[in-house]
């Protein structure tokens, strides 16, 4: 077949026109498809935006047009996209902390703090002034009440804690606040603060109330130190007196018990001796009734023996010229004559 150059050129000229027509048709199709496709993609993205994940330390609170409709637990969930539904995820396991009477300027190390006298200075039960700095730790126990019942949770907790602490301190003497009463004050303040927040229905759980620093105001610090020193001296003297008492009382009681025991023994001795004398007298009386002369002679001799035993000089008849008399520890020979 012979080559037709003219026909070839006409064919080449027709190809660009065909492509141009195809391109024009594609543009028309794109214009028709573009808007619905974009709308579909936007719709899909809007629907996907309702997917949310609640962390293990959170609770999801879903709102529909601003009203709470449900609470979701940790895990993946879905809510109707904004603005129909929104979700809040408060951290219910987090322990929050509020400082009252002081503020942390720098965590350090070393840590630096700034006192807030208008919060820390309080009136005690015995009309003294004391500076009380403490912290309050709390966490969320009811996320719905926490989110919707109280507007400013930190400020509310701070004001309620300060009021509770002032009430407890106002019923306590300053000596107890500065020494042995700190634990009781912490516990009573915690209980009172919990009652206040429960009345507000704040949805909070007070974890702890901890006293950080309790001291008299700086203006009277020196006087308080003098009073404390005097009380220490007083306690020292009291302890010394109690030690002396504890030493002397047992000895006195022991001496008294000894005297009482001796008196009881003496009494028993006298009673038994008297009973013996009585029995001896009764037995002698019985013998006297049987032989009066013999008993009289015996009594006479016993009596004379007692009398002569205490006599230094004895006058005897002439018939007896020599006698031996006991005088103390010596034996003497003495001659006497009866005139």
The predicted model gives 271-291 an average pLDDT of: 84
State yes or no: pLDDT of 290 exceeds 90.
no
* pLDDT (0 to 100) of residue 168: 95
pTM of the model: 0.59
Q: Average of pLDDT values for 110-121?
A: 88
Asked whether the predicted pLDDT for residue 282 surpasses 80, the reply is yes
Q: What is the mean pLDDT of residues 231-251?
A: 89
**Residue 315 pLDDT class (50, 70, 90 cuts):** low
Q: What is the pLDDT of residues 176-215, one digit of tens each?
A: 888 888 999 999 999 999 999 999 999 999 999 999 988 8
Domain ranges of the chain: 51-88, 96-216, 291-334
pLDDT for residue 280 is more than 70? yes
> Does position 223 have pLDDT exceeding 60, yes or no?
yes
Q: For residue 15, is pLDDT > 60?
A: no
At residue 100, the pLDDT reads 94
What was the pLDDT predicted at 321?
46
Q: pLDDT at position 128, please?
A: 87
Looking at the chain, the whole-number percentage of residues with pLDDT higher than 70 is 81
Q: Which pLDDT does position 338 carry in this prediction?
A: 43
pLDDT at 42: 84
pLDDT band at residue 337 under the 50/70/90 scheme? very low
Residue 330 scores a pLDDT above 60: no
Please determine, for residue 324, whether its predicted confidence score (pLDDT) is greater than 50. no
229 has pLDDT over 90: no
Give the model's pLDDT for residue 335: 40
Residue 159: band (very low, low, confident or very high) from pLDDT cuts 50, 70, 90 = very high
Mean pLDDT over all residues of the chain? 82
pLDDT digits (tens, 9 = 90+) for 59-80: 999 999 988 899 999 999 898 8
Most confidently predicted of 20-34, 52-66, 290-304: 52-66
Split at pLDDT 50, 70, 90, the class of 142 is: very high
Report the pLDDT value the prediction gives residue 178, as an integer from 0 to 100: 86
Average pLDDT over residues 331-337: 40
CATH superfamily of domain region 96-216: Band 7 domain (3.30.479.30)
One-letter-per-residue 3-state SS of the chain: CCCCHHHHHHHHHHHHHHHHHHHHHHHHHHHHHHHHHHHHHHHHHHHHCCEEEECCCECEEEEECCEEEEEECCEEEECCCCCCEEEECCECCCCEEEEECEEEEECCCCCEEEECHHHHEEECCCCCEEEEEEEEEEEECCHHHHHHCCCCHHHHHHHHHHHHHHHHHCCCCHHHHHCCCHHHHHHHHHHHHHHHHHHHCCCEEEEEEEEEEEECCHHHHHHHHHHHHHHHHHHHHHHHHHHHHHHHHHHHHHHHHHHHHHHHHHHHHHHHHHHHHHHHHHHHHHHHHHCHHHHHHHHHHHHHHHHHHCCCCCCCCCCCCCEEEEECCEEEEECCCCC
Predicted local distance difference test score (pLDDT) of residue 133: 94
pLDDT computed for residue 147 by the predictor: 92
């Amino acid at each position: 077949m012979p080559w037709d150059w003219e026909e070839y050129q006409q064919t080449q000229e027709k190809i660009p026109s065909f492509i141009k027509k195809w391109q024009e048709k594609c543009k028309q199709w794109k214009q028709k498809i573009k808007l619905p496709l974009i709308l579909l993609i936007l719709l899909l993205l809007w629907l996907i935006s309702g997917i949310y994940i609640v962390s293990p330390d959170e609770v999801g609170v879903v709102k529909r047009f601003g009203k709470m409709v449900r609470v979701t637990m940790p895990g993946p969930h879905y809510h109707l996209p904004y603005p129909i539904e929104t979700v809040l995820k408060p951290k219910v396991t987090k322990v929050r902390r509020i400082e009252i009477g002081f503020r942390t300027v720098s965590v350090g190390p070393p840590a630096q703090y700034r006192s807030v006298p208008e919060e820390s200075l309080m009136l005690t039960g015995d009309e003294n002034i004391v500076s009380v700095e403490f912290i309050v730790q709390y966490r969320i126990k009811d996320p719905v009440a926490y989110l919707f019942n109280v507007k400013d949770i930190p400020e509310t907790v701070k004001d309620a804690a300060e009021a509770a602490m002032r009430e407890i301190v106002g019923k306590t003497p300053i000596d107890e606040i500065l020494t042995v009463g700190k634990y009781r004050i912490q516990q009573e303040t915690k209980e009172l603060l919990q009652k206040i927040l429960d009345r507000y229905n704040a949805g909070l759980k007070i974890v702890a109330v901890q006293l950080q620093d309790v001291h008299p105001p700086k203006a009277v610090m020196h006087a308080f130190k003098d009073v404390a020193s005097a009380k220490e001296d007083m306690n020292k003297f009291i302890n010394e007196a109690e030690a002396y008492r504890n030493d002397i009382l047992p000895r006195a009681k022991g001496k008294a018990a000894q005297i009482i025991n001796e008196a009881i023994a003496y009494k028993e001795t006298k009673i038994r001796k008297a009973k013996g004398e009585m029995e001896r007298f009764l037995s002698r009386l019985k013998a006297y009734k049987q032989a009066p002369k013999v008993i009289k002679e015996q009594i006479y001799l016993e009596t004379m023996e007692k009398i002569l035993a205490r006599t230094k000089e004895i006058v005897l008849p002439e018939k007896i010229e020599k006698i031996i008399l006991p005088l103390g520890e010596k034996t003497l020979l003495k001659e006497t004559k009866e005139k």
